[in-house]
Amino acid sequence: MPTDRAQFREELLDRAVSVLLAGGFLVVLILAWQLITTLELLPAYLVPTPAATAHAIWKDLTDPRFWNDQLFQTLYVVLVGFAIAAVAGLVIGPLLILHPLIERSVYPFVVAFQTMPKIAMAPLILVWLGYGHTSKFVITALVAFFPVVVNVIAGLKAGDERQLILMRALRASWWTRMTKVRIPNALPYIFAGLDIAVVFAVIGAIVAEFLGSPNGLGSLVIIRQTNVDIPGLFSVLFFLAVMGSTLHLIITGLARKFTFWSQTADNKVAKR
């Protein structure tokens, strides 16, 4: 991607300002938090001090069992569930619009299903599949699937109609039209869908772990709640936020690489 040098510097400066502003806001937040705890505006057993929270985070950070039994377990469920959702969405999306008959008969159900909170199906899936990895993967994938499939479909329909007329004028095959026009046009939408999906996958994995998993951050939340370990809960939330942000940054990084040509890539999101 060719970038004008002046424009590049301007963008860099713009980013630096963003980082400074966000950092400044964080400092304000922590100061306010410190103030609330030192003035005991909220009882200490409900809101731990920043120091106590930092200590809990540090304790988890340096505990190999936290990594192996909790964080990596959740990450594993998130990644597998997300991968299933992404592949399924990328395969099923195009199939749904392959023929107007399929689209008109099946798509209304996709939309109807999409409006239902998939999380509510988690207990049912546990009954069907039992405790274990499979049910966690399925719950996660189910939550993450819809933003992918809906955006794949929206993306494949996007683009200038005349691009396709041009391909028809060249008597291009279905496959050529797909690979040269429809899929590239769909990429900004697909990445927007994957971005939502990866965040949804974290939610799905945590809920699956809430419902009786021996390990993972979701189960750790339940254990620490039972023990009224409030700093510990804050620590888990912190790690979940880091996990979500990292995954989001990876997807947006890939999106920027593959859809640099799209000026409105960030706006292209169909309904979740």
Partner 1 sequence: MTSLVSVNGVSKTYETRRGEKVLAIGEVNLHLAEEEFVSLIGPSGCGKSTLLHVAAGLLKPTTGEVLVRGENRPIRAEEFGMVFQDAVLFPWLTIRQNIEMPAEVLRIPKAVYKPRATELIELVGLAGFGDMYPRELSGGMQQRAAIARSLIHDPELLLMDEPFGAVDAITRENLNIELQRIRRVARKTVLFVTHSISEAVFLSNRVVIMSARPSKVRAVIDIDLPADRGPALIESPEFDVFVRRVHRELGHHAH
Between 181 and 247, name the residue whose CB sits nearer to partner 1: 181
**The token pair that represents 102 in the structure block:** 């399929």
Between 104 and 162, name the residue whose CB sits nearer to partner 1: 162
User: In terms of Cα–Cα distance, which of 60, 8, 108, 97 is closest to 224?
Assistant: 60
Between 163 and 252, name the residue whose CB sits nearer to partner 1: 163
Q: Rounded distance, CA 234 to CA 66, Å?
A: 14
Residue 184: CB minimum distance to partner 1, A: 5
**The token pair that represents 20 in the structure block:** 């400074």
**The token pair that represents 92 in the structure block:** 């099923």
Between 129 and 178, name the residue whose CB sits nearer to partner 1: 178
Between 49 and 163, name the residue whose CB sits nearer to partner 1: 163
Residue 104: CB minimum distance to partner 1, A: 14
Could you tell me the end-to-end alpha-carbon distance of the chain, in angstroms, rounded to an integer? 30
* φ, ψ for residue 214, nearest 5 deg: -75, -15
Between 22 and 169, name the residue whose CB sits nearer to partner 1: 169
Residue 14: CB minimum distance to partner 1, A: 19
Instruction: Tell me the one-letter amino acid at 108.
Output: P
Q: Rounded distance, CA 85 to CA 145, Å?
A: 4
Residue 151: CB minimum distance to partner 1, A: 18
Residue 174: CB minimum distance to partner 1, A: 13
Q: What residues have CB less than 8 Å from 248, skipping those under 6 apart?
A: 195, 198, 199
CB 198 within 8 A of CB 75: no
Residue 249: CB minimum distance to partner 1, A: 23
Residue 162: CB minimum distance to partner 1, A: 5
Positions that interact with partner 1 (CB under 8 A): 1-2, 160, 162-163, 165-172, 176, 180-181, 184, 187, 259, 261-263
CB 218 within 8 A of CB 202: no
Between 101 and 169, name the residue whose CB sits nearer to partner 1: 169
CB 144 within 8 A of CB 203: no
